[in-house]
Structure 1
Amino acid sequence: MTSSSVSAPPCIRIGSAPDSWGVWFPDDPQQVPWRRFLDEVSAAGYEWIELGPYGYLPTDPARLADETGSRGLSVSAGTVFTGLHHGPDVWDRTWEHVAGIAALTRAMGAGHLVVIPSFWRDDKTGAVLEDRVLSAEQWRHLTTQTERLAREVRDRYGLRVVAHPHADTHIDTEENVTRFLDATDPDLVSLCLDTGHYAYCGGDSVELIETYGERIGYLHLKQVDPAVLAEVVADGVPFGPAVARGVMCEPPGGVPALEPVLAAARRLEVDLFAIVEQDMYPCPPDRPFPIARRTRDYLRSCGRP
């Protein structure tokens, strides 16, 4: 057997995202400028990034390719927020939103589209936008419309949809995550397991990987400060203000421990992206870079390249 016929072993590709620089919106005076983000994410030792909120980075593919390529960066995924539990009535405006992001994601050579459910309460004010618990009909809409979206994104753009459980959404706790997985087609819908959000909502990432390993298509690496989490849960604080309190913390100071998560992911023996996200909006512009560099060094100590 020649060396060229031996397939490469599965690997976990580590990256970061605008989120780790306090970027939540396409344009916000509290956020670092996009050129500074690209400069610093590269200098911190990362080679992979996500697009972040659409419009934060340049949306012209040729320009973005120049800007990322000159810094040794490649794109792993784009991200969209959706309210698919509202059913077919929201399909047209959902697709209009998704299509542009999917097109840019594919043009940048990425293979994944991270799909995040809409919030049931406002992430800044805490105003309740809708019932926290979905009806049976809304669950059917959520699962069938997510499958429809995944099929369209795959067929038109060649991207894999990875659904992202998220605090203050309807896909959050272990019960809701497993209900969602059990009701969706594994050939269409995979999971973006965000270790921080899953811990925020009481879940065990290692257990989820070991139980639903074939559904894990993408990882977000993040940790929660248990003391701050206990406070925000007790006070009923919405996600945005909880982040401002520091609920998402710098590894390895929180939970879950990332080394066992990465070990469990390696046992799946599949290629995976593991993108660092430390929610910290808003934050001083000089804060993210040192954290990003220390986090990259920490992940190397966990045995990742």
Structure 2
Amino acid sequence: MLKAGCQTYTWEMLGDRWTGDADDLLRAIAAGGYAGIEITDTMIGHYADRPGPFADALARHGLTLVAFACGSDSGFTEPDAFDADLAAIERALGFVAHFPGALLSLGSATVMSPGPAADKFAAAARLYNAAGEKGRRAGVDVAVHPSSHHNTLLGTREEYDTMMALLDPALVGWVPDTGHILRGHQDILDTLRTYSDRIRYLHLKDVDAAGHWAMLGDGVCDVPAVVDVVAAAPNFNGWLVLEEESEVAAADPAAAVRRNRETLRSLVA
């Protein structure tokens, strides 16, 4: 069964222009017609380290926590930050463990300092695998969310192949993101099929032919074809998480995510 969730980065990308809080996000996402939410460590706000009250707030709005997403100033590629990053991940796992079925999503490995690419891949893989082991002990699935942002180490298919070869598939899953895959100039359906056994849930967003963010359905992403491939993945949990980064969303995030939910209904039965 397919279920629709919403990622809170649509509001987070506004930076100081966003003056609301996590409760505002829950209201907007529930009103937009979503059943679930993926919230980030930046947007969790006053619910940080308070899983009980957050669970109560989710229940009031009829929402399920799909995933808790977190990153690090280290880009997960700095060996000196390994212990601090892993400690932060362990705290996040303690929070997520209160929500059955929710995952911990770790941000894209990012180059933060000079050095050989091979060393950066090794450092990120070591951290991701260690996080996956911590997640196994906590009863929480851990997955990596590659991105096409500046200095990402996980943009092209070659980079995906390199990282996937270093990750333990029994410990670390994958959150494919349609927009980022397309911005990395990949054959999206081939990438999804190649690593289908690692897919845990899907991030759906769209880009135009030049790689600029577009509202869902307005770009080049073949949403029905993508969903068909992902839905057949053996470890896919059913969640399609919509995330919007276009200029339309920057003007009115709540309206944009509501429109995307309506578009998804029209594209996927």
- Whether TM exceeds 0.5 here: the answer is yes
Which of residues 72, 76, 79 is equivalent to 2:66?
76
Is the 2:86–2:130 contact (alpha carbons within 8 Å) kept by the matching residues of 1? no
Consecutive unaligned residues of structure 2, counting only runs of 5 or more, are none
Cα shift at 1:222: 0.9
CA distance in 2, matches of 1:24, 1:100: 24
Do the aligned partners of residues 61 and 271 (structure 1) sit closer, same or farther apart at CA in structure 2, a change above 3 Å counting? closer
Equivalent residues in 2 for 1:93-242, closer than 5 Å? 93-120=84-111, 129-131=112-114, 134-155=116-137, 157-167=138-148, 168=150, 169-227=152-210, 229=211
Paired residues, number? 261
| TM score, norm. by length of structure 1 | 0.78
Name the SS of the counterpart of 1:114 in structure 2: strand
CA distance in 2, matches of 1:139, 1:106: 28
Task: Say what the alpha-carbon RMSD is for the aligned residues.
Answer: 2.3
1:300 correspondence with 2:265:
yes
Cα shift at 1:261: 0.4
Aligned to 1:277: 243
Do the aligned partners of residues 112 and 51 (structure 1) sit closer, same or farther apart at CA in structure 2, a change above 3 Å counting? same
Cα shift at 1:18: 1.1
Which of residues 2, 25, 40 is equivalent to 1:37?
25
User: Could you list the runs of 4 or more consecutive aligned residues of structure 1 that deviate by over 4 angstroms after TM superposition?
Assistant: none
Aligned to 1:12: 2
Cα shift at 1:13: 2.3
1:61 correspondence with 2:44:
no
CA distance in 2, matches of 1:95, 1:52: 17
CA distance in 1, matches of 2:6, 2:160: 24
Do the aligned partners of residues 63 and 107 (structure 1) sit closer, same or farther apart at CA in structure 2, a change above 3 Å counting? same
Aligned to 2:217: 252
Do the aligned partners of residues 117 and 210 (structure 1) sit closer, same or farther apart at CA in structure 2, a change above 3 Å counting? closer
CA distance in 2, matches of 1:301, 1:98: 37
Which amino acid in structure 2 is aligned with residue 272 of structure 1? G
Cα shift at 1:100: 2.5
Aligned to 1:85: 77
Is the 1:24–1:52 contact (alpha carbons within 8 Å) kept by the matching residues of 2? no
CA distance in 2, matches of 1:140, 1:36: 39
CA distance in 1, matches of 2:106, 2:131: 10
Is the 1:196–1:255 contact (alpha carbons within 8 Å) kept by the matching residues of 2? no
Consecutive unaligned residues of structure 1, counting only runs of 5 or more, are 1-10, 121-128, 230-246
Identity of aligned residues (%): 23
Cα shift at 1:117: 2.9
Cα shift at 1:175: 0.6
Name the SS of the counterpart of 2:250 in structure 1: coil
Which amino acid in structure 1 is aligned with residue 229 of structure 2? A
Which amino acid in structure 1 is aligned with residue 3 of structure 2? R
CA distance in 2, matches of 1:58, 1:296: 26
Higher RCO structure, 1 or 2 (CA under 8 Å, sep 6+): 1
Aligned to 1:4: none
| TM score, norm. by length of structure 2 | 0.87
Aligned to 2:230: 265
Aligned to 1:52: 40
CA distance in 1, matches of 2:170, 2:99: 24
